[in-house]
Amino acid sequence: MIVTLSTKGQLVIPKEIRKALSLRAGAKFAVELHQGQILLKPVDDARRPRAVIDGLYGKFAQSGLLNDLATERQQELRRDEARGL
């Protein structure tokens, strides 16, 4: 298959390939240059700890839970600082 690089440096991955690899909008890729070729490797976000946290932001955005957790974490840091940790 042949695709065209846009003026913004973007490529469109053909639908058949996206479907075969179960790729969705927002999928992350590792990009490597190997012997003059560009390699795109899908990255499984579920394996990245930060991806789990990032996923919570949308899910719990209106609940106030994230603000409570951030406040609690700041209190823990202040307590640790006071104890010299």
| Amino acid at residue number 63 | S
What is the reported pLDDT for 85? 76
Report the residue count for the chain.
85
Q: Do the strands 28-34 and 37-43 form a parallel or antiparallel pair, or are they unpaired?
A: antiparallel
CA distance 49 to 45: 8
pLDDT at 84 over 90: no
* pLDDT given at position 38: 94
The mean per-residue pLDDT over the stretch 59-83 comes to 83
Beta-bridged to residue 73, according to DSSP, are none
Instruction: List 32's β-bridge partners, or say none.
Output: 39
List the domains of the chain with CATH numbers: 1-43 (2.10.260.10), 47-82 (no CATH)
The structure tokens 């240059």 sit at 33
For the cut 70, the answer to whether the pLDDT of residue 42 exceeds it is: yes
Amino acid at the residue 4: T
Instruction: Calculate mean pLDDT across residues 57-67.
Output: 72
- Across 2-85, the runs of DSSP E, i.e. the strands, are 28-34, 37-43
pTM, 2 dp: 0.49
Average pLDDT over residues 24-32: 89
